Structure 1
Amino acid sequence: MDRGNTVRGEICLGREAITPTAIPARGWKDILWRVFWSIPDDRILSTSGGVAFFALLAIFPAIATVVSLYGLFADTGTIRGHLSLLAGVLPGGVLELIGEQVTLIITQDSDALSLAFVVGFLVALWSANSGVAALFDALNVVYGEKEKRSLVRFYSTTFLFTLGMISVVMAAIGAVVVAPIIFTFMGFATPAEQFLAVLRWPVLLVVVCAWLAMIYRYGPSREDTKWRWVTWGSVMAAMLWLGASMLFSWYVANFDSYNKTYGSLGAGVGFMMWIWLSVVIVLLGAALNAEMEHQTATDSTQGAALPLGSRGANMADHVGASHA
């Protein structure tokens, strides 16, 4: 093949793309093909199991923390009613499992709740931080990186992300609990409830997209990528997660196979499966972002443009194989 045909072929594959939107259809074929093969190559399914384990460890201490925090704003007895806001997204068995734990906690006296807040917060913080560390390790695998950060920098980063997740949860509590109380005091209870019911899904989607973009940009041990190269995977993962959660919820509600197979453990197994599925989707979003960077020879890292091989990021330093 002569040089002219080679150059035209490279352009058709998006090797000179400076944004994901500049990658043509042939280039996207390569990207999606490599994303598909990253599932076995990067052990995405098995790696997600490790992250899901630590996430599950953090769930129930986090529930104790949230219930105790909820009591600062409203009667803890009403929290079960607010769990219905998640109906249709979380599987019924998951809501039932969380509801039972909430009932157990709110029957305790106020002193016990205060102690539950302190203990639950510390345990949830440790468990959640372990989960974030496991997620960062999985992102390194997806992006083809080895951990190069010092222990202090690594755990400082995971700790900041853990606190960030707690802040997002607290903000959600504020939106669900504090806002209705304010609107009720002002005499706008019904419109407020209708407004929040309609607004909760797009707001949830935007928050998840933003949080995933932060994780994809700062999680892997590499030079930071430009925001445009993490947006697509974030949006795809957020939408896929919302759709998969609704589909999984419908499956559990209609077929109830987990309870038939595992008996009293069915709700817990379903909960674990939902967390695992969520982590798989997060890593697939990371794989999409990584392979988009892998498709172009243009520098996708932050700062001045550098040549291939000197950018401090494996996916940005090499061009992915073509399957066109």
Structure 2
Amino acid sequence: MARSAGMSLAPRACSTTLASIASALLVGAGARALRRALGPRTGRPLPRRASTREQARPKQAAGWWEMLKRTYAEVNKDRVQAVAGGVTFYGLLSLFPAITVLVSLYGLIADPQSISLHLAALGTIVPEGGLTIIGEHVTRLTGADQSKLGIAAMIGLLVALWSANAAMKAMMEALNIAHDTEERRGFVVLNLVSLGFTLGAIICLIVMITAIAVVPAILALFNLGPLGDVLLWAGRWPAMLVLAGLALAVLYQWGPSRPDVAWRWVTPGSALASIALLVFSMLFSWYAANIANYNGTYGSLGAVIGFLIWMWLSTTIILVGAELNAVVEAAGRLQGTRSGDGGTRR
């Protein structure tokens, strides 16, 4: 029995170790990007970020502590938690149209009825109540006539995608607030960018769902036995960290209405936010399943309330990462101006 217990703990140990390594690499990348963006450390206070309401004061770039203090001040000034609540509202409205698009697209490459089984693998990072809400809607969609699903994919796909687009536009507006900028993109460009982000997020989710089904089958071909289980556990979390970091970097780069910036200016926020998102989601899912009693407080709405809280706090983490990037960008531009390169992208 001790031997079997040890074998069952081995995948978790390997997974935790590799996830820690991936987290360290992301933090290291963020730290290196921050040092490159700020230039040599002078120990002087961080410059204030220029906005439509106040002018920036010319101060020297500083280190991590001043950077975090300035980020905290910007989070309070921009009322990030209230803004995240607005994004969460639009996110809830967009959830079911997005699921419709997901089922329609997934049905083109695989059996849509298998989605519910694969989504259950996300139970570690998504609260159980949220998975229940999503699973019920997926069951209703996949229980329909397959010809109706085909018609929905051909006719209703664009309508559902447009409805799901509302959450992404709300997120992009929140990123504009974080960067103290106004929306300057026209109606067509704005909607093309937001639709691209929305469709990209859905495609990434389809890839994740497909990987959940395909990777174990591929490992089974090699007859690895317990080693295959170890590899599945060990590779899951680092892969999710890297995917989340890349997705956030792209969102931070092209989400706000401002010229493209150097990737080193969006790396600190994306690295820290991706790690914080994964850790928070795991802890909140455990808390919701073992400690919280939302049903006792909110009755039949308990699952919805728990899912909304998770969405709200996750959005807050993403926006805090954007605030950090905005502070890094402002300091990097000032340092670049003083060094003669104007803070240009490179």
Q: Which range, TM-score by smaller chain?
A: 0.7 to 0.9
Which aligned pairs between 1:1-324 and structure 2 lie closer than 5 A? 18-20=36-38, 22-23=40-41, 27=62, 28-118=64-154, 121-180=157-216, 186=221, 188=223, 195-296=231-332, 297-299=334-336, 305-306=341-342
Shift of 1:197: 4.0
* Cα distance change, pair 100–40 in 1 and its aligned pair in 2 (3 A): same
Distance 1:81 1:193, change over 3 A: farther
The worse-fitting range, judged by mean Cα deviation, of 229-238 and 95-104 is: 95-104
TM-score between both structures, scaled by the size of structure 2: 0.74
Bigger shift: 90-99 or 20-29?
20-29
1:169-199 Cα distance to aligned partner (Å, 9 max, x none): 2322332234445666x46596666544432
CA RMSD of aligned residues (A): 2.9
Whether the 8 Å contact between 2:336 and 2:342 is mirrored in structure 1 is yes
Cα distance in 1, alignment partners of residues 327 and 279 from structure 2: 23
Q: Structure 2 counterpart of 1:108, which letter?
A: A
Question: What SS does the aligned partner of 1:58 have?
Answer: helix
- For residue 74 of structure 1, report the CA deviation from its aligned partner: 4.3
TM-score by length of 1: 0.78
Identity across aligned pairs (percent)? 41
Tell me whether 263-272 or 101-110 shows the greater mean CA deviation: 101-110
Q: Provide closer, same or farther for how the CA distance between residues 120 and 45 of structure 1 changes in structure 2, counting only shifts above 3 A.
A: farther
Q: Deviations over 1:77-124 (max 9, x none)?
A: 433322221122111111122222222223222123323445663344
Q: Distance in 1 between matches of 2:216 and 2:157?
A: 26
Distance (whole Å) between structure 1 residues aligned to residue 115 and residue 209 of structure 2 = 10
- Write out per-residue CA displacement over residues 137-169 of structure 1, whole angstroms, 9 at most, x where no aligned residue: 111111111222222322222222223223322
**Deviation readout 1:190-240 (Å, 9 max, x if unpaired):** 666654443222111111111111111112222221111110100100010
Whether contact under 8 Å (2:253, 2:266) holds in the other structure is yes
Distance 1:130 1:235 in 2: 26
Cα 1:253–1:24 change in 2 (3 A) is farther
Q: Which runs of 5+ in 2 are unaligned?
A: 1-33, 45-61
Matches of 1:151 and 1:73, distance apart in 2:
33
**Structure 1: segments with no counterpart, 5+ residues:** 1-15, 314-324
Residues of 1 paired with 2:72 and 2:230: CA distance?
Answer: 41
Instruction: Specify the SS of the correspondent of 1:299.
Output: helix
Which whole-Å CA distance do the structure 1 matches of 2:193 and 2:128 have between them? 34
CA distance in 2, matches of 1:68, 1:74: 10
Q: Helix, strand or coil for the counterpart of 1:19?
A: helix
Change (3 A) 1:68 1:217: closer
Structure 1's 23 and 212: CA in aligned 2 closer, same or farther, altered over 3 A? Answer: farther
Match of 1:158, as an amino acid?
A: S
